[in-house]
């Protein structure tokens, strides 16, 4: 009987370890530097950010691509959208869409979200915001 209980305890322990490992590593991290140059904090207006994204913007491809890190997981998908480009500012929206009527796995991961500009960023202000759909 004690041998059976030992096997049950070992099995339960293995399942608990598997679950703890899955939960503990669910928030996968991405590299801190996606390549390119970090946009100075004074050039980023992140007052419109309401969800879990890092208000740190990177520019790539000579300033024609902007990138931020956002959380995605389960039934939430994120993407980038430019709502406006002017001579003084670029409005970068991180859009979160909830997928409905499906089974959602329990995980969260950090992903790079990018947008492509018509012209290099230069000294324009990046207005960063989040949109939930």
Q: What are the pLDDT digits (tens) for 75-116?
A: 899 999 999 999 999 999 999 999 888 888 888 888 999 999
Q: Smallest Cα–Cα separation from 109: which of 77, 82, 63? A: 77
Q: Classify residue 67 as exposed, middle or buried by CB count within 10 Å of its CB (0-12, 13-18, 19+).
A: buried
Condensed to tens digits (0 to 9), the pLDDT of residues 48-82 reads 998 777 789 999 999 999 999 998 888 899 999 99
41, 51, 39: which is closest to 117 by C-alpha? 39
Specify the pTM.
Answer: 0.73
- Other residues' Cβ atoms within 10 Å of the Cβ of residue 113: 20
Give domain limits for the chain. 1-27, 31-132
């Amino acid at each position: 009987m004690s041998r059976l209980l030992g096997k049950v305890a070992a099995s339960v322990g293995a399942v608990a370890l598997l679950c703890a490992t899955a939960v503990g590593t669910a928030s996968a991290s991405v590299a801190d530097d996606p390549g390119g140059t970090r946009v100075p904090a004074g050039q980023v207006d992140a007052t419109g950010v309401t969800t879990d994204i890092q208000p740190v913007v990177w520019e790539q491809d000579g300033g024609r691509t902007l990138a931020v890190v956002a959380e995605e997981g389960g039934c939430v998908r994120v993407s980038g959208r430019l709502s406006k480009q002017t001579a003084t500012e670029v409005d970068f929206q991180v859009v979160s869409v909830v997928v409905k009527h499906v089974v959602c796995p329990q995980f969260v991961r950090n992903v790079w979200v990018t947008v492509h500009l018509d012209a290099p960023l230069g000294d324009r202000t990046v207005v960063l915001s989040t949109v939930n759909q």
